[in-house]
Amino acid sequence: MNVIAAAVSLHIDDVAASSNFFISHLGFREVLAAEGLVCLSRDDAAPDIVLQQRDAVRPAPPAGRRSVSAAVCFTVTGIADEHERLRREGAPITAPLRLEPWGEWVLQLTDPNGVVVQLIEWTPPAGA
């Protein structure tokens, strides 16, 4: 298998609100739009983001199982500058920039539909 592209598909209630969030704060652009569907892309290594209207008839998870909660994570450079830019823009930062003990800087945003987006920048270990 040779993966040539990647996308994250999100089933949400308000496609326009999430589309605006990813375009305004994270530099995506709309590459396809249809009723209840928007595909967003960037010119770097980020996967495409496919936003789909949540389907009311989508079957419930099997008995004893819950729906999975997930976050969209982007490894970036210049995270401190991004944090300042997002803060100035009034972006919905739900966990401010912090350094984790294992060596990653992380910043968390949450879009209007509750989609968690984490920006991560790794720091080299001491002595590297």
pLDDT tens-digit profile of 45-81?
999 999 999 875 465 666 666 666 789 999 999 999 9
Give the single-character DSSP code of 84: H
Structure letter (DSSP) for residue 102: T
Whether 41 contacts 27, CB under 8 Å? no
7-55+70-122 fold: 2,3-Dihydroxybiphenyl 1,2-Dioxygenase; domain 1 (3.10.180)
SS3 82: helix
Count the Cβ atoms, other than its own, within 10 Å of residue 104.
Answer: 15
List of residues 6+ apart from 81 with CB closer than 8 A: none
Q: So what's the pLDDT on residue 61?
A: 63
Strand partners, 87: none
pTM: predicted TM-score of the whole model, two decimal places = 0.85
